[in-house]
Structure 1
């Protein structure tokens, strides 16, 4: 049975005004969204899905470059031209590995804060186009680099722009789709990450066999493919109706909504709901500056956003960039390590696709907690295996660790990876969504900087040479994170942004979010 107008009155009565005082069109739009099934939503909003996927190409670009660099550390030609001899093999210095890999996390810090302002001034569409143009330019430095210092400049400058895409896409995706599609489209951030990493692995697996500079120059050149696809099509992309409404460009917002929906959808009620949600947030004194992310109205929401994003790093996601090198250090041959890294990311891709099914049957909180617990356990098992006697002479253990890493990435793709972005978008107030995501991205990236510096020293044979004992480090951190998530991460599924505004304003307890009826006033 669908939601009725009376059901909606009971569910959505707010402290700031009674339901009868709400705009009738806004109420109609909310009821329609509640009643919309996933299949119906796909039929009603095919254009919104298409443009959201289109914007995800930026995330693919952002994931491609750091994965590419991580794989080049295991490429013989790159090791020879940029490394030094150590015990008969070429190794890229750990200091430069850390520095080169710094482009991605530093870029996310810059992009988190740098993208938010042009997104508010210029809109999501123009900001995306500007970033793509800059990326096109900076790839030239990477392509022609023949020394570590020059390559470092190219990676740092490129990373500053690539980090912007991680903020742009989830904001855009969350603002162009109805409730029934919101979880899947925002979780598409993770599949875009995995796709970019998988493409990078596929490219380097092919070029790693070359014995000249094309082994690393050709992979850099492939980054020019994305701008040639994005820039011509971006001209036709609709702008976010939420951004247009906040700029009081209501006619353009309505036109954008019409372009995002099928022809038989009346978009006027949806526009009314967007205006009503913005009005409610203004009544709650929810401003739109970075400082407002930390005011009482939004502080809890910002904490959750930062927490779920940072847990990605603390649970071991930065090992993905070193997957090929990890498999080599575990004792696999170069060819086998590249094959394993491709399978590693392929399983992550499949896992993310599976998460879409899970999202339609289970709550965000349940998937997140179950996944995080499983990841902690797998990492700890990997660490225990590394402590086995005569490890060096037992290849079966090395393969077992590698297979467990494959399972780990599959589990990450099913849960923590995509669900993080869903929760991140849903807990953010609409007026500060870009900035809340920016703050969370910056916090995650700062942790990423620490990991980028630390992991090469933990994994390189001329340094700590921890091998699988890294599992103890990341497994222990993940276990601590699970406790925080259990206490703080609420269930945000199947709620309008207006409902979430009210629930956070009322400070509803974490464990009560899933069953809370907004219309029931607390005594």
Structure 2
């Protein structure tokens, strides 16, 4: 339990906190007006009040662009003639192809690094904050791009991918954590989906670069894409000195005045919110979690109600991989193996990632204009994605049918659009909202590590599924991912709660009261006086 000293440390000057715990009953009378104001704040008024928060959230997402770019560019190289000639061997028909084992080894570099980086991110994020941790990671990325660029063997390239992936593990934890901690409730969905948009932008740039260099037969066909990776960390390092730190992190460090200054920098000078009230809400949320005995260790992520919150974060992120996403990562190679010539395959790959960009942007009005909830969008996407995967599988049954090949390629693009409009971006909203603020970076790190571990499994399996010298499944992989996607849909229906329109304090209380997932949407907390009971 929080001690008197704890409470005194979080007191706002001039504000007398009532005891939050009275006879075993948790009350939010202190923040009732703050919570009601958060609910009443609309999207565009929030943009006008927090323009700097919107900018800095998207700025931090530039780091995720690097993660999406690196993962996509490596798989695109498998269909790049210059890369095939350099590192591949001759297969049937006189074609060059990188062997399945080496495809597996190269593809595993990014996810292995992400696992290690994500799990290692917890301590520095809490010790040094979001800004300094990101700066150190950018310097690491710059150094490791040198290894990739000057690699003299495919083994050296693999080492560069693994070591470079350590920073990517940090990036995909830092960006959603920071975005969720600097914005008001009305912007949370919009800004956290920008993490997915950053992934898509990275993939799109990688596909475009690979397609543009597809006809080159010299080493610059694959060296130039590596060199482009120096651009992003340099831009980030130039802007970080001006970025405000997370006010939630500053409050946990007992740096209340710094937290207040950060909130001032994140908001508009012409149309500011009530900074003292916002700061009070942040401190009260932190105090509530202290009362609920939420500390900030990895072990606490698996204790009590936090186990449920960790499960949800893991599953919504894991579904991105096991529900069919590997076909996106291998889109260009998949199209080529399905029967398209290399030029058409690269063009379809670029179109695939472009649709992903449009899909992610489409998710914004779904959340903010039409008002659909996270659960509704995510589950609807799962239904359509599952159906499309089975249709792709059935279309692959006829052999040597060029019409069926183009139909599969088109359905892959439709699947990508659906995924990037629903499951892809909404995942980052959910993992940024569901976890307790004191455990957020560690919960996201765990979910990232599990997702990356699943990526390793699919990275091992996918080349053997698609490679002409191995299983040569082609579109039949749709049956496997369709079946897995159906099971995931069942889990979503039973276990995924609705977090739209809930402050972090409200979510703490709903989970503490063990409200069933399907009742989150309509449960009225503001209409009650007694909010929750400590168990």
* TM-score range normalised by the length of the shorter chain: over 0.9
Structure 2 unaligned spans of 5+: 1-21
Q: What whole-Å deviation, never above 9, does each CA across 1:362-399 have from its counterpart, x for those lacking one?
A: 011111110011111100000001112xx21x211000
Q: What whole-Å deviation, never above 9, does each CA across 1:139-194 have from its counterpart, x for those lacking one?
A: 01111113211111111111121121000000000000000000111111111000
What secondary structure does 2:330 align onto? helix
Structure 1 residue 16: deviation in Å? 3.7
Cα distance in 1 for partners of 2:327, 2:133 equals 30
Could you tell me which residue of structure 2 aligns to residue 476 of structure 1?
A: 483
Please state if 1:199 is matched with 2:199: no
Could you tell me which residue of structure 1 aligns to residue 116 of structure 2?
A: 110
Could you tell me which residue of structure 2 aligns to residue 4 of structure 1?
A: none
- Residue 366 (structure 1) aligned to one of 363, 370, 376: 376
- Residue 388 (structure 2) aligned to one of 360, 363, 378: 378
Cα distance in 2 for partners of 1:113, 1:156 equals 15
Mapping for residues 295-314 of structure 1, pairs under 5 Å = 295-314=303-322
Cα distance in 1 for partners of 2:377, 2:97 equals 40
Please state if 1:335 is matched with 2:340: no
Cα distance in 2 for partners of 1:107, 1:221 equals 20
Cα distance in 2 for partners of 1:417, 1:506 equals 29
Structure 1 residue 231: deviation in Å? 0.8
Larger displacement relative to structure 2 (138-147 or 496-505): 138-147
Q: What TM-score, normalized to structure 1?
A: 0.94
Could you tell me which residue of structure 1 aligns to residue 287 of structure 2?
A: 279
Q: Per the alignment, do residues 14 and 463 of structure 1 end up closer, same or farther by CA in structure 2, a change over 3 Å counting?
A: farther
Q: What TM-score, normalized to structure 2?
A: 0.92
Check the 8 A contact 1:179/1:495 in 2, yes or no. yes
Structure 1 residue 316: deviation in Å? 1.3
Larger displacement relative to structure 2 (240-249 or 147-156): 147-156
Structure 1 unaligned spans of 5+: 1-12
- Residue 329 (structure 2) aligned to one of 321, 327, 335: 321
Could you tell me which residue of structure 2 aligns to residue 419 of structure 1?
A: 426
Cα distance in 2 for partners of 1:493, 1:81 equals 50
Please state if 1:246 is matched with 2:252: yes
Cα distance in 2 for partners of 1:415, 1:153 equals 34
Question: Root-mean-square deviation (CA), in Å?
Answer: 1.4
Q: What whole-Å deviation, never above 9, does each CA across 1:432-452 have from its counterpart, x for those lacking one?
A: 000010111111111111001
Check the 8 A contact 1:14/1:502 in 2, yes or no. no
Check the 8 A contact 2:179/2:191 in 1, yes or no. yes
Could you tell me which residue of structure 2 aligns to residue 69 of structure 1?
A: 74
Check the 8 A contact 2:378/2:422 in 1, yes or no. yes
Cα distance in 1 for partners of 2:452, 2:235 equals 28
Check the 8 A contact 2:118/2:166 in 1, yes or no. no
Could you tell me which residue of structure 2 aligns to residue 79 of structure 1?
A: 84
Please state if 1:40 is matched with 2:48: no
What secondary structure does 2:96 align onto? strand
Could you tell me which residue of structure 2 aligns to residue 57 of structure 1?
A: 62
Please state if 1:493 is matched with 2:500: yes
Cα distance in 2 for partners of 1:326, 1:14 equals 62
* Pairs aligned (count): 504
Check the 8 A contact 1:347/1:409 in 2, yes or no. yes
Please state if 1:440 is matched with 2:441: no
Q: What whole-Å deviation, never above 9, does each CA across 1:383-440 have from its counterpart, x for those lacking one?
A: 001112xx21x21100000000000000001100001111111110000000010111
What secondary structure does 1:235 align onto? helix
